[in-house]
Amino acid sequence: MTSPLAFLKGHGTENDFVILPDPENAVDLPPAVVARLCDRRAGIGGDGVLHVVRSAAHPEAKHLADEAEWFMDYRNADGSVAEMCGNGVRVFARYLQHAGHVTAGEVPVATRGGIKHVHLDKNGSVTVRMGKAVLPEAGVTVTVDGRSWPARNVNMGNPHAVAFVESLDHAGSLDAEPPYEPAAVYPEGVNIEFVADRGPRHVAMRVHERGAAETRSCGTGACAVAVATARRDGADPAVTGMPATYTVDVLGGTLVITEHPDGEIEMTGPAVIVAEGTVEPTWLDA
């Protein structure tokens, strides 16, 4: 790289991201570069990278270009590629608005998990139609410090294991991925959520994100938690015919998740751009 690389920094309920505007997909992002950008001591710092590319310019998104102009090429903090990121897609849409590419209202965003329809509210909140959850029958048992819990398998375009606990302290440090069995249920790894009740239709969660350790928030994880909690509570919208809305507290704030009788899930929360600047190529190539 011979010229400075432009970046922005943003977060959604403190799930934070390095944003790289690259409309023509001209920037090479090997895992080592992504990890260097996300390093909180030696780099910019973030839970992941939002690579902003026009759909028509990216080989994985060309087939979606007629439906969505922009593709969220999302990378975990360790450089691995991810299918989707719920907080990330809100911040991605906020960036598009910040850059003047879109205005308030409906914004389609292409992701590896399909087209996500985002609504930028004038009051600053962002609502994303996250699609429908898939609930595979096979689950796992998660173990931390000698305690074990069954975890519900929920797929939101990326895999989740949702375990209900009496106290979020039972999740331990979450610096390392909690062990789970059988490992074969998630051959490509999994996001693990620990969930405790806070009141009627109100829960709190902590999450170990695949490729990023514990994060302050996880949008797809909050959706998976709401779906799993509705099933536990006997509030499956497909059965009751009524939407199920849950408030989900994460370490970085609060998200509101609604699952509709047709299975469509909506997530509402904040998205903030906090800084922008450039990265020196000599540092990035070191």
Annotated binding-site residues for substrate read 15, 76, 86-87, 158, 191, 209-210, 219-220
Binding residues: 15, 76, 86-87, 158, 191, 209-210, 219-220
The active-site residue, picked from 49, 110, 118, 218, is: 218
The active-site residue, picked from 5, 34, 37, 85, is: 85
Paired strand residues for 256: 247, 268
Q: Is 223 a catalytic residue?
A: no
Q: Is 38 a catalytic residue?
A: no
Active site residues: 85, 218
